[in-house]
Every structure is written in C-alpha cells, then in structure tokens.
Structure 1
Amino acid sequence: MDALLHTSRREFLKTSGAGALVVGFTLPVPKRAEAAGVFQPSAYLRITPDNRVTVIVGSSEMGQGVLTAIPMLVAEELDADWSTVRVEQAPVSEAFNNPMFGMQATGGSTTVRAHWEPLRKAGAAAREMLVAAAAERWKVDASTLRTDKGQVVGAGGKKASYGSLAEAAAKQKAPASPKLKDTKDFKLLGKSLKRLDTPAKVNGTAKFGIDAQVPGMLVAVMARAPQPGAKAVRFDEAKAKAVKGVQQVIRIDSGVAVLASGYWAAKKGRDALDVQWDLGANAGLSSDKVSAMLVDSAGNANAVARDDGNVRD
C-alpha cells in the first residue's frame, strides 16, 4: 500500500487560516469553494470555531458508503468527536482526483484503498497542528499533550476544543511526516458507525443526479427498442405533445425520446407515443431461443470463439 500510494508532503498538505483551519493535500483550487470564502478549498478537511469538522469527499456515493468511510479515515487520525463530523460532496475539480486513477472517478473498489494513506495523513497533520497550537497557548511542550474526541488535553485536565484552536492551528507549520496511528489504536475505523448521509436521505434534502437543475433544462424519457436492432416505424407524436409540459419528440437510433419540462410530463408523453416497432432480423428472438443457442454451442467441442495471431510467433 505504501509503495503504491506514497504521497509527498507538498502533495498532501497545504494550510491557511483566518478563523478556520483547512488541511488538504492537493493544489488545484475549485472556484466554487473560493466563492464561499473558505481558505484552500482544495482541502479535504475543514475545522471551524463552532467545533464542526467537515470532510469534503470527491468520490461518488452510490450506496457503498464512501460519504462515511472517507470521513472515518480523517476523523480517526484527527481524534475527532464523531458527533461533530459532517460531510460535503466535493465539486468537480482536479483537487479531488482519485490518487489511483489520476482523475476524479469512483470505481473498482478503489476509494478507501486510494485514500487510505493520504487522508489519514491529512487528519494526523491537522491533529499535530492543533496540539502545537495548544502547546503554544499554554506554554508547555507538545509532547505533554494528548487528544481525545475533538479536544487537546493537558496536565491537570486542562482542555481546549479543536474549534477554539482552529485559528491558531492554521498558523502552525505543517508537519513534514505526520505520525499515523498503529491499527491497534483505532477508535473509529473497523467500527460500525451511523452513516453521515442517512439523515439527508431520510428527510429528503439529499441531492441526487435527477435533482440537478439548470436554466432551460428539459428532461428526456425514452421509449426504448424492445430488442436489439428494432426500429420505430410509427408513433403518435401529436398525442405525446398533447401532454402538458412536453416540448419535443425525437426519433433516435434505439427508440424515441420525449423531452419535457419535468420527468412526469416526459414519462406521460412517452407512454402516449403508441410506438409501432419493426423488429427486423431479430423478430423471432426470445430469451428461450438465446438460452437454447448457448446450450447448443457449449456442446460443440470444435467451436472456435476467436482465432487471432500465430502461436508459433
């Protein structure tokens, strides 16, 4: 893992401050975050004076749990209080490229593997900077301090929350080689935690692809060909356009598309098309026939699936 995902200090960590501590490990700057007034918006970690720890995730959540798994990587090394951790979906930016792909993509069960080291380092570096800030404030050696659930703890039970240290921590020098925990000391990783994205999915505030809106946008619903090679020879365009909200009906290679002001209008327009199909050469094709062909072919010992090249060369 270390050999595959070795990341230099410059690549994984940049800091800046002014009331908020922001730690990340990539340099490109997404303009959307700039507009929000957040320093170093390419960062994956943001700690604000209200003690909120926000982890920005560049991977797509498709039910596999990355909007919780990635924050767990950061929060573990940060020694964050899980109840204060929040997650944000990152914008499109090179800043959030998958380290294994070199592009912002999600797949191949790579998200946790690819971010295992760099995001843990981001959390560990932030923790060391918070400790340094507390040591400076209390005029003690940093080695005498420890962290626990979003606080730096000193002798005699003295405590300072991460939020109260955010501005000072942002002014600390970033550690060249932040120390990572031994796996036996993990408090969050390997545990079953409540998913961070569940509340938004339950109360309806979560945004999905179908929720995206841009000015003048139309939604398309297709009447798809019932089988490969089939073509639409007739359809009732007038009836589809009679549905309120339907703007356009387009014949395409694999069927007919209805464009409307919203999904429901597009669906009702599609349902009104009454498409007549020419099934062509595959008119008699069925699942049973395909299964029978496969069984027959499997019993042919001399069947050749592919014949390329020359084995002698």
Structure 2
Amino acid sequence: MKSLTLALRAPALGAALFCCLAQFAHAEVFTAPNSSAPPERQEVPNGAAPPQTVGQADEPPAIWNDTFIGYRWGTDFHYPGIDSTVMQNIGYLTTIGGFRFGSYAFNVDYLVSNAANPESGGPQSGGAQEVYSVGRVQFSAGKIFGRYLGIGPIRDYGLTVGYEFGVKNDAYSERARMLVVGPTVEFAIPHGYWNLTAGIRTESNHNGISGVDVRFNTAWHVESSWLYPFRVGPVPLMFRGFASVTGPKGRDGFGVETTTEFLTRMALLADLGSFAGHPRVLYAGLGYEYWYHMYGTPTHAAPGTITSVPMLQAEIHF
C-alpha cells in the first residue's frame, strides 16, 4: 500500500498542476451573483450610464456559467499541532452560474503538502493529500418573484444552502461533513458582486489520532464573497475573495473547547489572455490567506493555529 501511495503521488501532483484540480474548511467559499452574466464579463461602467439592476420584470432568466481550473502555491501554511511551516500545491476545479431561480457555486480542491504535514505513515511516507469540496446554492427573491426587490444599497435578497465535504490521509484522517443555511443579501455595487450570508453551520468529523467520531454543536456562521473587475491602464484585473466567521461549536476530538474562528482568502488576478486576443481565459496573480483559530482551536491549546500566507495563483476559464 505504501509503494502504491508513493507511485501515485507524482501523477496526482501533476494532475493538480496541469489539470482540474484546501484544507479542512478552507476550500473556496463564494456564492455566485444573481446577475444576467458572469461578473468578470460585465463591462466596466463608464460613469455615464446607471448600473444594470438585477431581477427586473422584463429581464429573461439569468442562465449562465463560468467553469475554470486553477492552481495555488504557498510555503507558509500552518496546522494545529505542527510546529513547522508547510508548503502546499493546491489545484482546484470550480463552476459557478445562474439558473432560473438563483445561482450556484461548486468547488473541488486537491491539496498536496510537503513532508512537514506528513501522511499517516509518517514523514517517510511523504506529504499528506486532501480532497475538499464546497457547494452553495442561492435562491434569489428577485428571480423567484420576477421583479426587482432591492432597496437602497441592497440589490437582492435570498436564501443560501450549502455543504462542505473533505477527506485527508494524514494521522488525523479527517472526514469533514458540514451543512450551511441562512438568508443572504446581495449588495448593489456598480460592477461585479458582493454578498453576505448569516446563518448556521452543522459539522461532524473524524479524529484518527484519538479514534473518535466527533459531532460538533450547531454554530452561528457568517460568510461573505466578492468579485470586482477593474482596470489599471491597459491591464484588466479581478479582485476576488471570501471571508467567513464561525462561532464556538463545543469540544473537539481532543476534548478542547473550541472558539470562534475566522478565515479569509483573496486574490488579485490579471487577465493575461486579453493581451493575446483571448480575454477572460487565462488569469494569473497573487493570493493571500489568513486563518485565525484554525478549526476553532484556541491558540493556547496547540501551535500552528494561525496561518498568514501569500500565494501564487493561476486560472484557465473555459
């Protein structure tokens, strides 16, 4: 089994780099906008025309899709209980879009750590590997009722439901299972999107070190996602990201009382394809991730509960 794992590691990493394919509870979390076109394809307003509204009665159903593969790389990740920094190669496959009654966003991340975060067999087995998926579906009040319901800074209202599933082959042997539900507001910004969801999150997991399955208490949960395309001179840019805050959820698999955790990831990406006559196809730039009280673990309980890491990032959109 060990030889099979070693044999598969290189092809798996290659697939992450060049094909479709972060960690426990830190896959890309964003809710797609309820607009009539992918946000990065909306023209930047010239200031003379009013911004296009969403959900007006004479609008057709907003049916669109943006599917892309991407890659992130960083050298300063941290995990609770690990003193040293961890290097990670992360590949991901994402699809977002709109349908008749709302929007959807699904993401699968494939992460390969170096030996600082080893497989369950120890550092001699190589770095741990993880698959983590996040999905969100947002039902839009404007689309359901067929008319614009926004007021002031609010463009639309809705209800978001979602999931997060993850598995990892380190000693902890995570089997994360989460459900998220809550009302959502979409803010009226002139270009791109910005939304906010406030609700609850359920979570269950497995602790392979102590050999127990853990069902956490239901916790309050707030998440926000955004995407804003703009230009600096001739360079088209896209600023995209998400942030989430999850309240205490009871004791973890080691009996430690969890605390509020905060996670954000963002990226500034340049549309490199536009310089070759293929706009909105190839993006590259810098990303950043900050995670405080990772997994809800307080800083006094273990080392490695805070991550602050810059990343290189690239995407190909289909």
Fold-level match, TM-score > 0.5?
no
State TM-score, norm by structure 2.
Answer: 0.21
- The structure with the largest strand share of the pair is 2
Structure number, greater radius of gyration: 1
- The structure with the largest helix share of the pair is 1
